[in-house]
């Protein structure tokens, strides 16, 4: 099919998405032009910050791709004190970031649940309720998600990693702790509780096909996600998946595919929030800006205290591990203007898709719901 006709379609079939993932040259330019236009129309040329606090690399899981997996012994484990986390949140608030994201390895325990509740309460208190909070601390019981939602977290990012169960099993140990169905159930309970729910996948994994990636995008659309954080898979020398390095696309191929995934998703889901993932910058110094140009609208400046950053290495060559929070901010601001976009300070930057589906967060907390509106 002619590319212009295809790009103007209301929805895509799997075959059409695969066709779009393969575009090169002029057709690729047209794809990126279309996704940039959609972003401009439905989101504007805007970017919102989530100050990222990677508060602990202690993890109970053993995902075969991840540098902070439990089995990696070549890593100093750390756990920020509550005071350090609150100081980072205060930095975000004082610098007028609308939101923060709290991320860590995966721990399921009553003590962890309680700690997160206390942190949420304290962060709300120090910012007079003004800082928006995204959580990304993995799979938990529905009642735990609910407690955190009630304590003020309103967005949750849980990447599904791959929606092809067979591939999911290849990149995770085959045991109860790494169960594909539980991942899906967790996403469902997050959505049911009322979180702005985000998911995403790694792109360029060993064994992954274009068919898988097209399936991932269709899953996101069907699940009706509010946010997406997806990025290239990058090897880590101390992980089991390193054995398959010879089966991978070159890094620039994974980068290219990630930009296409973002562009196609923007066209498919016009008003969701899409993160320009840090892993893009590990491949191309202006990788995140390229993502902002063609569809992403969220950046996550790292505000974790510098001395810990080296120990949150999910993959090799993770960028900015020796910067300070101030460095990250000024660098990102300059970068965003490179992409002809503008950082919006002092706003939560909630997913417009969520608001259209369910009303604003403030309405939800008051028990008011709106009727889903159709997009123009
Ligand atoms: N424990 C939480 C969870 O699983 O959602 C949050 C932390 S986890 C380290 C955050 C994300 O890092 C994962 O969802 C995964 O997609 C990404 N990640 C881990 N290893 C990676 C790698 N080698 N390359 C690219 N991304 C990776």
Read off the CATH number of the domain in which 250 is found.
3.20.20.70
Domain span at residue 205 reads 3-365
On the question of pLDDT at 216 being above 90, the answer is yes
328 exposure class (CB count in 10 Å sphere: 0-12, 13-18, 19+): buried
Which residue has its alpha carbon closest to ligand 1 atom 20? 66
SS3 state of residue 230: coil
Tell me the pLDDT band of 357, cut-offs 50, 70 and 90. confident
pLDDT tens for each residue of 163-211 = 999 999 999 999 999 999 999 999 999 999 999 999 999 999 999 999 9
Atom 3 of ligand 1: nearest residue by CA position: 138
| pLDDT tens by residue, 43-94 | 999 999 999 999 999 999 999 999 999 999 999 999 999 999 999 999 999 9
Distance from the CA of 314 to the center of ligand 1, in angstroms?
6
In DSSP terms, which residues pair with 132 in a beta bridge? 99
Residue among 70, 75, 202 to mutate when testing ligand 1 (max atoms within 8 A of CB): 202
Count Cβ atoms within 10 A of the Cβ of residue 362 and give its class: 0-12 exposed, 13-18 middle, 19 or more buried.
exposed
Return the number of other C-beta atoms located less than 10 Å from residue 372's C-beta: 10
Q: Which atom of ligand 1 is nearest to the CA of 158?
A: 5
For residue 338, the model assigns a pLDDT of 73
In tens, the pLDDT along 228-248 reads: 999 999 999 999 999 999 999
Residue 30 within any structural domain of the chain:
yes
What's the longest Cα–Cα distance across the chain? 58
Cα-to-centroid distance, 7 and ligand 1 (Å): 31
Question: Would you say residue 373 lies in a domain?
Answer: no
* pLDDT of 108 strictly over 70: yes
Q: Radius of gyration over alpha carbons of the chain, in Å? A: 19
Cα 66 to ligand 1 centroid, rounded to whole Å:
6
* Atom of ligand 1 minimally distant from the CA of 159: 14
Residue 299 lies in a domain: yes
Shortest-distance atom of ligand 1 to CA 105: 1
- Tens of pLDDT, residue by residue over 296-350, are 999 999 999 988 988 899 998 877 766 667 766 667 777 777 778 999 999 999 9
> Quick check: is 222 in a domain?
yes
The candidate with the shortest Cα–Cα distance to 350, out of 153, 73, 205, is: 153
Q: Which residues line ligand 1 (CB under 6 A)?
A: 65-66, 68, 103, 105-106, 136-138, 158-159, 161, 202, 231, 233-234, 236, 279, 314-315
27 domain-assigned: yes
Residues 6 or more apart whose CB falls under 8 angstroms from that of 50 comprise: 97, 99, 100, 101, 134, 275, 298, 299, 300, 301
Domain presence at residue 376: no
Ligand 1 pocket mutation pick from 72, 261, 314 by most atoms within 8 angstroms of CB: 314
In a domain, 370, yes or no: no
Q: How far is the CA of 251 from the centre of ligand 1 (A)?
A: 17
Burial class (CB in 10 A: 0-12, 13-18, 19+), 307: exposed
Q: How many domains does the chain have?
A: 1
Neighbours of 132 (CB within 10 A): 24
Give the atom of ligand 1 at the shortest distance from the alpha carbon of 106: 1
Pairing of strands 231-232, 196-199: unpaired
- For the stretch 184-190, contacts whose Cβ atoms lie closer than 8 Å and that sit 24 or more positions apart, written own/partner, are 184/160, 186/139, 186/140, 186/145, 186/158, 187/158, 187/160, 187/223, 189/142, 189/145, 190/145, 190/156, 190/158
Which residues are bridge partners to 198 per DSSP?
157, 227
Mean pLDDT, residues 153-159 taken together: 97
Rounded Cα distance, 113 and 35, in Å: 39
pLDDT score for 328: 66
Distance CA 122, CA 119 (A): 5
Tell if the pTM clears 0.85, that is, is over it.
yes
Question: Measured in angstroms, how far is the CA atom of residue 376 from the centroid of ligand 1?
Answer: 35
| Position 223 in a domain | yes
Distance CA 62, CA 174 (A): 10
For 3, 292, 296, 344, the CA distances from 40, given in Å and listed in that order, are 20, 11, 11, 15
How many CB atoms sit inside 10 A of residue 237's CB? 12
């Amino acid at each position: 099919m002619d590319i212009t006709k295809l790009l103007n379609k209301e929805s895509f079939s799997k075959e059409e998405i695969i066709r779009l993932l393969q575009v090169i040259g002029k057709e690729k330019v047209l794809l990126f032009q279309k996704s940039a236009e959609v972003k401009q129309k439905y989101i504007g040329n805007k970017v919102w910050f989530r100050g990222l606090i990677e508060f602990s690399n202690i993890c109970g899981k053993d995902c075969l791709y991840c540098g902070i997996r439990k089995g990696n012994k070549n890593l100093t484990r750390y756990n920020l004190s509550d005071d350090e986390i609150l100081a980072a949140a205060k930095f975000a608030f004082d610098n007028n970031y609308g939101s923060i994201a709290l991320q860590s390895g995966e721990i399921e325990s009553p003590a962890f649940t309680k700690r997160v509740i206390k942190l949420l309460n304290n962060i709300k208190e120090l910012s007079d309720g003004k800082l928006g909070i995204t959580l990304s601390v993995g799979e938990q019981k529905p009642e735990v998600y609910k407690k955190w939602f009630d304590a003020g977290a309103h967005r949750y990012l849980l990447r599904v990693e791959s929606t092809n169960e067979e591939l999911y099993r290849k990149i995770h140990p085959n045991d109860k702790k790494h169960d594909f169905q539980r991942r899906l159930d967790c996403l469902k309970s997050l959505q049911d509780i009322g979180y702005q729910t985000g998911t995403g996948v790694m792109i360029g994994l060993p064994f992954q096909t274009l068919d898988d990636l097209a399936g991932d995008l269709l899953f996101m659309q069907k699940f009706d996600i509010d946010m997406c954080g997806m990025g290239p898979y990058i090897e880590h020398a101390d992980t089991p998946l390193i054995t398959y390095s010879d089966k991978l696309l070159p890094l620039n191929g994974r980068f290219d595919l990630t930009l296409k995934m973002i562009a196609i998703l923007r066209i498919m889901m016009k008003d969701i929030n899409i993160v320009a993932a840090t892993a893009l910058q590990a491949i191309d110094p202006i990788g995140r800006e390229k993502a902002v140009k063609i569809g992403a609208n969220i950046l996550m400046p790292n505000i974790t205290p510098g001395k810990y950053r080296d120990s949150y290495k999910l993959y090799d060559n993770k960028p900015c591990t020796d910067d300070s929070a101030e460095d990250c901010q000024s660098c990102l601001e300059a970068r965003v203007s490179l992409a002809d976009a503008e950082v919006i300070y002092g706003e939560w930057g909630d997913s417009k898709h969520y608001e259209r589906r369910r009303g604003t967060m403030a309405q939800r907390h008051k028990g008011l719901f709106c009727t889903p509106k159709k997009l123009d």
